[in-house]
Amino acid sequence: MSTPATSAHDGQSGTFPDLQKLLSRTGPMANVGNYGTIFDPPLPFEPSPEILSFMQQHARVLVVGAGGLGCELLKDLALSGFGKIDVIDMDTIDVSNLNRQFLFRKADVGRPKSTVAAEFIMKRVSGVTVEAHFCPIQDKPADWYRQFQVIVMGLDSIEARRWLNAMACSLVTFEVDMETGQRKPDLTSVIPLVDGGTEGFSGHALAHPLPPPLRHVHDVHVRVMYPCVSGCFECTLNLFPPQQAVPLCTIAETPRNAAHCILARWPRLRGRYAHLIEAPKQFGDEKQDKDDPAYQQWERAAQFNIPGVTLMHTQGVIKNIIPAIASTNAIVAAACANEVLTNCAAYVNNNLMYIGGQGVYAPTFRYERSPECIVCGAGVQVEIAGSATLTQLLEQLAADPRLRLKTPSLRCEAGALQDDPTLYMRGVLEAEYRPNLDKPLSQLFADGSVLLVTDPSVPSPCIKVAVKFASLALS
């Protein structure tokens, strides 16, 4: 069912009379006062009728994700006066998306989300240009991200947020303060990030876990980040619990809950290990269709007297479905779009949390920068015995909750004891550096050396890790 355009937008002429009034004069909320700006000196609001013209003709906004939150973001930004919007998403439309991702129709199933969303917005809101990009965010180079004035994230994974946050931080250039000698970010190179996240009745405009008394409530947030100026996503990564893997023996021998029973029958979720448990007995090498009821049976639950394994629950586990409510998406997307419109609220707290399941509870607070942040800070230091092997160091780095690496490669920035500073590299050159894995660290680099770590979880530049050799007593 179509709805008329909001009062802020004249659907026929493409003008925004309400925005023109708002942006061409000042008001009490525009005074920075003592609101705790992250900028020194504060950035004042200077009313001008040219602001709307800039928003419509020159400002470029990137929306990352065209799912439930992304659809709302595109609609809100287009109706807020932004005339040049890009949207990037690597997914195609599924039937299960249609109940809340309102830019899609049944005839669109199978088509790229970004393409269909862009077509719908341009058809619905006159004068707006939406450019679609059907690809992973990692496929775009740094110069492509550099062209945007603001990036709005409607993502559903920590990994994608980490990568995009690191990319935004890598785009920042620095200048030396002549009085203090300290490096300061050039604010003209800072691209603000607005992060929104929803789950169930809750949401945010930056993703973060709830404080302990509320952790049973689903998370919803809105967060504004200025790379290398305010706290970035990596600065608060420790607030996210690492993804818990279910032990294989639990799945195979004594499942304790409904999800364990489903995982035992669905090897695609557990990789090649779970593939050895149940599926070969039932289906052989046949390709598994997540929507086929034949793969969604729950005899294993009955075998162990575990209740609660319904068809809906089975689908939620095997398809990794996260609860999503359309009204929550709308609330969080509106908060994100409002932050973009107000220049990312430079003088208010940078995080908002909405708890819909407990009524309207929306506190705001600030995330501070971490001096040990691997993206915008000085990096981290690890201790390990000099007699330990390179394999042991790689294992320690992979297990470090501050880093959360997947498949790291290592190179010495300084202190290498070999002609080749590269210690270990994944991929086609892995065999060349494999002999280093069994060598003690004291033969590869000096105590206190700084290692450059590359990993798929973050884009270049590399992560810096200082390695201090622990004493014999500690080791």
Residues serving a catalytic function are 249
Would you say 354 and 332 are in contact if contact means Cβ atoms under 8 Å apart? yes
Which tokens in the block code for residue 234? 């990596």
**Look-up: residue for tokens 């990312």?**
344
In sequence order, what are the residues at sequence separation of 6 or more whose Cβ sits closer than 8 angstroms to the Cβ of residue 264? 251, 252, 255, 274, 277, 278, 300
DSSP string of 211-256, one letter each residue: PGGGTTSPPBEEEEE-TTTS--TGGGGGGSPPPPPPPHHHHHT---
Burial environment of residue 213 by CB neighbours within 10 A (0 to 12, 13 to 18, 19 or more): exposed
C-alpha span between 225 and 351 (Å, rounded)? 9
Which tokens in the block code for residue 453? 């770590």
Q: Which of 364, 384, 382 is nearest to 372 (CA)?
A: 382
DSSP string of 299-326, one letter each residue: HHHHHTT-----HHHHHHHHTTPPPB-H
C-alpha span between 374 and 169 (Å, rounded)? 11
